[in-house]
Amino acid sequence: MIKILFFAQLRERLGVAELTQDTLPDTIGALRNELSQQSGLWAELLQKERCLAALNQEIVADNAKLNSGDEVAFFPPVTGG
Amino acid sequence: MHQDGISNRNIQVSVEAEDFDVNQEYHWLRENQMRDGAIVTFVGLVRDMNAGEKVQKLCLEHYPAMAFASLQSIAKQATERWRLGKIRVIHRFGELDLGDQIVFVGVTSMHRGDAFAAAEFIMDFLKTNAPFWKKEQTAKGSRWVDAKQSDQDKTASWQK
């Protein structure tokens, strides 16, 4: 099982802050593709160019491997400071 | 590359809703040490204008589990590049008004060059890596702030 979190515009526009899923895609990129299948909106918001991914609270590239129990987060480029 | 064994108690990071007191932070940076002759501090504030529009209020969303670790990791990276004494980083979240303090970075070093550079490095990485998002309230409603390419370029320039 993996936990998936969404923040900022993604959370608002997708209308979801947190998901859990039992299936385990190989990588962050595979998970991104899988979630993008759900609708045009998901595909648009999860595009690599505008959506960063963190694995267990660290920003990672799409080839990062997933393991059961991982926490994944998708979010837009950060704007703090 | 410098790694002079800066201890964890000399790197203090906070992610909090409450405001901070610059005097108190400056005092902590200065106390119990005689080695460092330079303290650089930076404070970021909520501005009244952004992207040509009057801002009324700001709301800062964050990813709690990651925000602290991210700031800590940025501070640690700074200690690998410069010889630093103490580092203090504070980032606020939640509802903020115009003129409110958002972020504090304080760095001590033997000489000013390292302290200036490290403070700028920490701010530049914080801007592009720490999981915080600003939402502005304007007369036309609320809007998420767009990330700036110039911020990405600044972070990239440290990696050259």
**Binary contact (B65, A80; C-beta < 8 A):** no
Asked if the structure places residue A80 within a domain, the reply is no
Q: What is the CATH number of the domain that holds B141?
A: 3.90.1170.40
Helix (H) and strand (E) counts in chain A: 3, 5
A33-37, A47-51, A53-57, B10-14: lowest mean pLDDT where? A47-51
Main-chain dihedrals φ then ψ at residue B154, nearest 5 degrees: -65, -45
Contact B131 A71 (CB under 8 A): no
CATH of the domain at A30: 3.10.20.30
Q: Are A45 and A55 in contact (CB under 8 A)?
A: no
Q: Tens digit of pLDDT for each residue in B17-60?
A: 999 999 999 999 999 989 999 999 999 999 999 888 899 999 99
Chain B nearest-CA residue for A79: B133
d(CA B48, CA B53) in angstroms, rounded, equals 8
Instruction: Specify if A64 maps to a domain.
Output: yes
Chain A: residue nearest B128 by CA?
Answer: A78
Using the beta-carbon criterion (under 8 Å), do A81 and B103 form an inter-chain contact? yes
- Could you give the number of structural domains in chain A? 1
Quick: pLDDT tens for B96-142.
999 999 999 999 999 999 999 999 999 999 999 999 999 999 999 99
Of A54, A73, A79, the CB nearest to B145: A79
- Interface probe for B, chosen from A57, A58, A72 (most Cβ of B below 10 Å), is A57
Task: Centre a 10 Å sphere on the Cβ of residue A27 and count the other Cβ atoms it contains.
Answer: 17
Residue A77 counted as domain residue: no
Number of structural domains found in chain B = 1
Give tens-digit pLDDT for A55-81: 999 999 999 999 999 999 999 999 999
Domain membership flag for residue A11: yes
- Interface subset of A 20-59, CB within 8 angstroms of B: 54, 57-59
Predicted complex ipTM exceeds 0.85: yes
- Taking CA atoms, A2 is separated from A69, B38, B66, B85, in Å, by 5, 47, 17, 40
- Closest approach of B104 to chain A, Cα-based (Å): 9
Structural domain containing residue B77: 2-158
Range of the domain at A19: 2-71
